Amino acid sequence: MSGPIQLVNLALSLVAFGLIAKWYLLPRLSEVRTEEALQPLLLLHSFRHIGLMFLAGGAVQSTLPSAFAQPAAFGDLAASLLAFLALFALRLGWNGALGLVWLFNAVGTLDLVNAVSRGVLHDAASGMGATFWIPSIIVPALLVTHALIFLLLARELRSPAATRPDPA
């Protein structure tokens, strides 16, 4: 029975984070340059290393399928490292920083889709143990912020001059 409960939690959290994004984040993110707007979103994703908890014996039950746990854990670690790299590239003003953000966002989004799919396919909910909060709260927030990042990157593609600082 834990599978359907976890899917309901995921869905309702997705709705709640979507409303937070629409009502509170999008209006503020639209007021700043793309490079600035991306940074707090990337900081949130830098915490994706928490997915390694799927491999921690005391946090999960022994019944958590490794066909879910290993790809989810290492995919989250890769996304975390890419988020850090993209964040530092933005902060340091590197050429190609937005390309790194695109890379991070594509990899991170695919990782979450893969993890959710594997979780459902392998009934991971029954072995989640203390990590149940990751797909119930954190994954929906990450999915919504991935969508926000795609929106910001698309905004940059549409009008790159509008998001650059004025030359002084």
Find tokens 């988020």 and name the residue. Answer: 83
The token pair that represents 73 in the structure block: 């854990």
pLDDT of residue 147: 98
What radius of gyration, in Å, describes the C-alpha atoms of the chain? 17
pLDDT of residue 167: 41
Residue 134 pLDDT class (50, 70, 90 cuts): very high
Half-sphere exposure of 134 toward its Cβ, with a 13 Å CA cutoff? 26
Cα gap 153→68, rounded to integer Å: 30
Range from 3-7, 131-135, 136-140, 162-166 carrying the lowest mean pLDDT: 162-166
pLDDT surpassing 50 at residue 168: no
- Identify which has the larger pLDDT, 111 or 3: 111
Cα gap 116→14, rounded to integer Å: 13
Q: In b/e form, how buried is each residue of 135-159, taking b as 16+ CB within 10 angstroms?
A: bbebbbbbbbbbebbeebbebbeee
Cα gap 73→51, rounded to integer Å: 5
The token pair that represents 97 in the structure block: 């920083």
| pTM of this structure | 0.90
pLDDT 10s digits, 40-63: 999 999 999 999 999 998 899 899
Sign of CA dihedral 105, 18, 48, 52: negative
Residue 150 pLDDT class (50, 70, 90 cuts): very high
pLDDT of residue 3: 67
